[in-house]
Chains A and B, each alone.
Chain A
């Protein structure tokens, strides 16, 4: 299958308009929507890696630090994501525990691993299962934002449960790190250019990603 780049053309990533580059080295902006036109996203791999590594670093304190600190008359209680899952499971509401586990633990981790896999496979010029990898990329892109669910729940709880002096909830350091993980992975996914997946199959001349 011929790619636009092979044909020496550029597809606008925003509006999809196929256009000729102004110059091969500097393709210029989309004539219709004004978006920057690129053969491939510049430094895509590098950007993705940087953001991915940053996310991976933040993932550690996000899980070690408490997400919420509940203070009641009886005392104060700090919960990390995992202790919340364990608490939900041990108190009998395993469906809720499963949701939190999937949304807050498995998805971010899965995203990190999936993106790492995509990056490595692209860098190694793998030609295998390009279609599956493209699908994986789309899945990662779609599913990624749902991890913010946890952050929203935490912020809403903190804002709503302020029954001083009976009970109050304060955000923990973990929630900030967790948010950083979600945002960084989303940005990393954004920086990754999926076109690179199939570039290995059909190399084109002006390739200098």
Chain B
């Protein structure tokens, strides 16, 4: 229990002004907090950009929350989710795009994954080595917005420089790749932007972009060619090497130029279609629009004659074989090989001397009647004939040669048909064959059997001769042998006598040699032996000579020093 308190002793509280409020001001705090939170939420909702999905091949280097969508290196969004598509075949990436970039999400906007790419013609995306891959965006021109996209395999070509795009048609792609350079007079003037297989599978469409100011040199007459690698040609002038730069050697490239013989024209419109030639020579060849077609019917094999084989007139190139096939002659019910050739008069005109070229051109440009007349004269009166010739003995490649064969029979030619059939003569190869066949036939005709029979008869006769000879030999044996035997015996005896005489002679010789030996021995002891007197004497004599030489040297030395002693004495 508490002690009783003296209340009067307790201090008196002081009075202050009353302050009474029903609803406290403190409610401002939660209202403020709510307002801030609400404000942030509203701002979030207002600035909320679109959410897009991009379908990728794979999600290499793509991470939710860490991969950005960038345009011009500015983050315009973040990947929020990465998941597989329904068929598990691709990856669907969901990205939240900033509201400020919402206008970029249009129909033809292109997305691709930016990753480090190192190609021979350049290095790109190096910054992604550190920052990780990101999704790049190329804005489209459309205004229709879209939220579902499919990413490209690689970066699209972004035309940063002014210029124009062109389309090239080629038989095959060669070694061209996207980004391969295009050269104009060996200056890098553009690049390959893309390529497609033609819809029918025959040929390739290459899209190129030529930067300004080079694009204005692309005229409708411009030729594009493949400048990949090194073009080495050996001609009568020597070795010629053409390249367009190291990169094109390694990575492939294209080049273009306009042939100088063509009149200058205006620049070609964008997306104009050109043919892509395989090399410069083909590309820059003069146009051969007025090729004349002729047909040849051969009576021999055309194996080795292919489309594109040259047609030579007097050994000069004048055209090419355009078709090789068969012809069925209804009247004779016979099959024969047929070759169609195209003849380009320009090529022959080009071989003429300069002042004659005009005349040649005039002839070529004359009407078909005059041309036919010229050809008719050449064929009928001067014996112009086509002949198959072997271009390469190893591969058996054939070409068509036109030469003069004045002795050949006059042909019957229908000059009205199209194409005109030109007369042919058998090829030299076939000619050779025919001759060989003739020789073989002659060989065949030779009476080998009779010759064999004759030979057999001769052999029998020879056998008989041999038999006679044998008999003769036996006769010789029986009649001559006894006499021969006695002769041998007497000879033997004679030899025996000679033998005894020889023995005595040898004995005497031996004795002579012995005495000679003794003489030599005594000489030896006198001259060469250890105690031989002669040797001793020789030694003494030599010593005397040495002494004499010494005294001579002393004298010489003295005389050298005292030459006056010769006069005055020592």
Question: A49 vs B13: C-alpha distance in the bound complex, in angstroms?
Answer: 30
CB–CB A51/B132 < 8 A = no
The number of residues on chain A lying at the interface, defined by a beta carbon within 8 Å of a beta carbon of chain B, is 35
CB–CB B37/A60 < 8 A = yes
Tell me, yes or no, whether A23 is within 8 Å of chain B by CB.
yes
Assuming A46-B24, A54-B32, A61-B40, is B12 touching A75 (CB within 8 A)? no
Q: Distance (Å) between the CB of B131 and the closest chain A CB?
A: 5
CB–CB B30/A50 < 8 A = yes
Task: Name the CB-closest residue of A to B35.
Answer: A57
Tell me, yes or no, whether B66 is within 8 Å of chain A by CB.
yes
Assuming A26-B18, A43-B24, A61-B37, is B29 touching A51 (CB within 8 A)? yes
A-B contact pairs, 22 of them (CB 8 A): A10-B13, A19-B10, A20-B11, A26-B15, A26-B16, A29-B16, A31-B12, A36-B16, A43-B21, A46-B24, A50-B24, A50-B26, A50-B30, A51-B26, A54-B33, A57-B30, A57-B33, A61-B37, A73-B131, A74-B130, A74-B132, A75-B132
Question: A36 vs B17: C-alpha distance in the bound complex, in angstroms?
Answer: 12
Cβ–Cβ < 8 Å partners of B12 in chain A = 20, 22, 31
Q: Mark B22-42, 1 if CB is under 8 A from A, else 0.
A: 011011011011100100100
Q: Distance (Å) between the CB of A139 and the closest chain B CB?
A: 24
Task: Name the CB-closest residue of B to A44.
Answer: B24
- List 18 extra interface pairs beyond A22-B12, A57-B33, CB under 8 A: A19-B10, A20-B7, A21-B13, A23-B13, A28-B14, A32-B11, A43-B21, A46-B23, A46-B27, A47-B24, A50-B26, A50-B30, A51-B26, A58-B33, A61-B37, A75-B132, A173-B40, A184-B29
Question: A77 vs B130: C-alpha distance in the bound complex, in angstroms?
Answer: 14
CB–CB B13/A57 < 8 A = no
CB–CB B13/A22 < 8 A = yes
Q: Distance (Å) between the CB of B79 and the closest chain A CB?
A: 12
Question: A54 vs B27: C-alpha distance in the bound complex, in angstroms?
Answer: 9
Q: Distance (Å) between the CB of B514 and the closest chain A CB?
A: 121
CB–CB A20/B13 < 8 A = yes
Question: A191 vs B33: C-alpha distance in the bound complex, in angstroms?
Answer: 18
Q: Distance (Å) between the CB of B199 and the closest chain A CB?
A: 44
Question: A27 vs B14: C-alpha distance in the bound complex, in angstroms?
Answer: 8
Contact of A23 among B10, B15, B29 (CB under 8 A): B15
Question: A72 vs B131: C-alpha distance in the bound complex, in angstroms?
Answer: 9
Cβ–Cβ < 8 Å partners of A47 in chain B = 24, 26
Tell me, yes or no, whether A189 is within 8 Å of chain B by CB.
no
Cβ–Cβ < 8 Å partners of B24 in chain A = 43, 46-47, 50
Question: A119 vs B37: C-alpha distance in the bound complex, in angstroms?
Answer: 24
Cβ–Cβ < 8 Å partners of A20 in chain B = 7, 10-13
Cβ–Cβ < 8 Å partners of B40 in chain A = 61, 173
Question: A25 vs B16: C-alpha distance in the bound complex, in angstroms?
Answer: 11
Cβ–Cβ < 8 Å partners of B37 in chain A = 57-58, 60-61
Question: A61 vs B42: C-alpha distance in the bound complex, in angstroms?
Answer: 13
Q: Distance (Å) between the CB of B67 and the closest chain A CB?
A: 9
CB–CB B26/A43 < 8 A = yes
Tell me, yes or no, whether A5 is within 8 Å of chain B by CB.
no
Question: A21 vs B24: C-alpha distance in the bound complex, in angstroms?
Answer: 24
Task: Name the CB-closest residue of A to B34.
Answer: A57
Cβ–Cβ < 8 Å partners of A173 in chain B = 40
Q: Distance (Å) between the CB of B324 and the closest chain A CB?
A: 66
Q: Distance (Å) between the CB of B375 and the closest chain A CB?
A: 79
Question: A20 vs B11: C-alpha distance in the bound complex, in angstroms?
Answer: 7
Give residues in A with beta carbon < 8 Å to B. Answer: 10, 19-23, 25-29, 31-32, 36-37, 43, 46-47, 50-51, 53-55, 57-58, 60-61, 73-75, 77, 173, 180, 184, 191
CB–CB B13/A27 < 8 A = yes
The 4 A-B pairs of least Cβ separation, nearest first, read: A28-B13, A22-B13, A31-B11, A54-B30
CB–CB A46/B26 < 8 A = yes
Q: Distance (Å) between the CB of A105 and the closest chain B CB?
A: 18
Question: A22 vs B30: C-alpha distance in the bound complex, in angstroms?
Answer: 35
Cβ–Cβ < 8 Å partners of B26 in chain A = 43, 46-47, 50-51, 191
Q: Which of B116-142 contact A (CB under 8 A)?
A: 130-132
Question: A26 vs B17: C-alpha distance in the bound complex, in angstroms?
Answer: 9
Question: A19 vs B66: C-alpha distance in the bound complex, in angstroms?
Answer: 65
Question: A10 vs B12: C-alpha distance in the bound complex, in angstroms?
Answer: 12
Cβ–Cβ < 8 Å partners of A31 in chain B = 11-13
CB–CB B27/A50 < 8 A = yes
CB–CB B131/A74 < 8 A = yes
Task: Name the CB-closest residue of B to A78.
Answer: B65
Task: Name the CB-closest residue of A to B9.
Answer: A20
Q: Distance (Å) between the CB of B64 and the closest chain A CB?
A: 12
Q: Distance (Å) between the CB of A92 and the closest chain B CB?
A: 20
Question: A173 vs B44: C-alpha distance in the bound complex, in angstroms?
Answer: 13
Question: A57 vs B29: C-alpha distance in the bound complex, in angstroms?
Answer: 10
Task: Name the CB-closest residue of B to A53.
Answer: B30
CB–CB A75/B14 < 8 A = no
Task: Name the CB-closest residue of A to B19.
Answer: A42
CB–CB B14/A22 < 8 A = yes
Cβ–Cβ < 8 Å partners of A180 in chain B = 33
Q: Distance (Å) between the CB of A65 and the closest chain B CB?
A: 8
Cβ–Cβ < 8 Å partners of A22 in chain B = 12-15
Cβ–Cβ < 8 Å partners of A32 in chain B = 11
Cβ–Cβ < 8 Å partners of B33 in chain A = 53-55, 57-58, 180, 184
Question: A153 vs B52: C-alpha distance in the bound complex, in angstroms?
Answer: 37
CB–CB B13/A37 < 8 A = yes
Contact of A19 among B11, B18, B23, B27 (CB under 8 A): B11
Question: A57 vs B28: C-alpha distance in the bound complex, in angstroms?
Answer: 13
Question: A121 vs B24: C-alpha distance in the bound complex, in angstroms?
Answer: 21
Q: Distance (Å) between the CB of B96 and the closest chain A CB?
A: 14
Between B11, B12, B29, the greatest number of chain A beta carbons within 10 A of the residue's beta carbon is seen for: B29
Cβ–Cβ < 8 Å partners of B34 in chain A = 54, 57
Between A23, A58, A74, A184, the greatest number of chain B beta carbons within 10 A of the residue's beta carbon is seen for: A58
Q: Distance (Å) between the CB of A153 and the closest chain B CB?
A: 23
Cβ–Cβ < 8 Å partners of A184 in chain B = 29, 33
Question: A27 vs B12: C-alpha distance in the bound complex, in angstroms?
Answer: 9
Question: A29 vs B12: C-alpha distance in the bound complex, in angstroms?
Answer: 9
Question: A27 vs B15: C-alpha distance in the bound complex, in angstroms?
Answer: 7
CB–CB B13/A29 < 8 A = yes
Between A53, A57, A60, the greatest number of chain B beta carbons within 10 A of the residue's beta carbon is seen for: A57
Q: Distance (Å) between the CB of B42 and the closest chain A CB?
A: 13
Question: A25 vs B15: C-alpha distance in the bound complex, in angstroms?
Answer: 10
Cβ–Cβ < 8 Å partners of A46 in chain B = 23-24, 26-27
CB–CB B16/A28 < 8 A = yes
CB–CB B11/A29 < 8 A = no
Between B10, B32, B33, the greatest number of chain A beta carbons within 10 A of the residue's beta carbon is seen for: B33
Question: A21 vs B21: C-alpha distance in the bound complex, in angstroms?
Answer: 21
Cβ–Cβ < 8 Å partners of A36 in chain B = 16
CB–CB A50/B29 < 8 A = yes
Cβ–Cβ < 8 Å partners of B29 in chain A = 50-51, 54, 184
Question: A184 vs B13: C-alpha distance in the bound complex, in angstroms?
Answer: 32
Task: Name the CB-closest residue of B to A20.
Answer: B10
Question: A60 vs B132: C-alpha distance in the bound complex, in angstroms?
Answer: 32
